[in-house]
Amino acid sequence: MIDIQHISKAYLSATRETWAIGDVSFTVRKGEFVCIVGPSGCGKSTLLNMVGSFMAPSAGSIAIDRIPVVPGTIPHRLGYIFQKDTVLPWYTVGRNIGLGLKFRGHPEQKIAEKVRRLLALANLSGCEDMLPHQLSGGMRQRVALLMTLACEPDVLLLDEPFGALDSNTKMTLHHELLDIWQKLSQTVMMVTHDLDEAVTLADRVIVLSAPPSRVVLDHHVDLPRPRDVFALRDSEAFGRNVRAIWSVLGREFQAAQGASREVSHVA
Ligand SMILES: Nc1ncnc2c1ncn2[C@@H]1O[C@H](COP(=O)(O)OP(=O)(O)O)[C@@H](O)[C@H]1O
Ligand SMILES: [Mg+2]
């Protein structure tokens, strides 16, 4: 469904050239949930932005469902969720969720039905007329997720969507995201800095190296589904998956730290 081939990306400024991504290739199958982890600055957001067409790679190609991604042209049926929730503060929860459908010209009654169905899916029934400032951070992030899901994307790109939340709220949202994903069967590519989160959610965890990044591990998470996100963490199998990934990821964290120490030493 997502085919990434030999992508590299350099950011150029008047004084310097930063190679964020060295040479990254991998594919994501239809309906698969893939998490991307790697040290800060290794180009995770950059990669997601290129898949979403918001940015052009320096070299390489990306295709979604065999159609090449053209920078500046958002691929058909793509949903994107940013690290910071992007709900509109002056609209109610219901209007926020129905916004994309309204832009697409759907009739009001159809929108209202769909909004109600989505709210029930995310345990937010009864919150339809509330304003975003009346919600907790976790509820707002759930509304942001529903805004994206309302337009029924086939491919969902998530950039650290739960990064700012406490661990309890996070796990509740993991449970809900898996529930929704299983019902709607989308292809998901999610960036996270939380390894436990990646193992809880993903079919595969891809580890990027320190920049200029490449894929240093493509790990298949061998935990059965449906997963109980709360019980899972106590299991031996969960720990085994986390350790296998950490043995590679930990090294890259150290490599990235070493590189930044060198830079500050030179400076
Ligand atoms: N617009 C930009 N201009 C110049 N450099 C950038 C820009 N965006 C990101 N970078 C640099 O590219 C590297 C990768 O950034 P990013 O993709 O945000 O990493 P990550 O999401 O993995 O933390 C970093 O060194 C960052 O400073
Ligand atoms: Mg990022």
pLDDT digits (tens, 9 = 90+) for 17-39: 889 999 999 999 999 999 999 99
Q: How far apart are CA 58 and CA 79, in angstroms?
A: 24
- Which of 78, 202, 87, 189 lies closest to 146, judged by CA? 87
- Any ligand 1 atom below 6 A from CB of 97: no
Q: Which of 9, 11, 51 to mutate to test the pocket of ligand 1 (most atoms within 8 A of CB)?
A: 11
- Any ligand 1 atom below 6 A from CB of 40: yes
What separation in angstroms does the CA of 30 have from each of 153, 158, 203?
12, 16, 12
Q: Is the pTM of this model over 0.85?
A: yes
Q: Phi/psi at 17 (nearest 5 deg)?
A: -120, 120
* H or E segment and range at residue 60: strand 59-64
- Any ligand 1 atom below 6 A from CB of 11: yes
Contacts of residue 158, defined as CB under 8 A and 6 or more positions apart, other chains included, come to 80, 81, 188, 189, 190, 191
Q: How far apart are CA 4 and CA 9, in angstroms?
A: 13
Q: What per-residue string of b and e applies to 84-108 under the rule 16 or more CB within 10 Å gives b?
A: ebebeeeebbbbbbbbbbeeeeeee
Give me the tens of pLDDT residue by residue for the chain, a chain 267 residues long: 999 999 999 998 888 888 999 999 999 999 999 999 999 999 999 999 999 999 999 999 999 999 999 999 888 888 888 777 778 999 999 999 999 899 889 999 999 999 998 898 888 899 999 999 999 888 888 899 889 888 889 999 999 988 878 888 889 889 988 988 888 889 999 999 999 999 999 999 999 999 999 999 999 999 999 999 999 999 999 999 999 999 999 999 999 888 766 655 554
Q: How far apart are the first and last CA of the chain?
A: 44
Q: Which two tokens stand for residue 85?
A: 């929730």
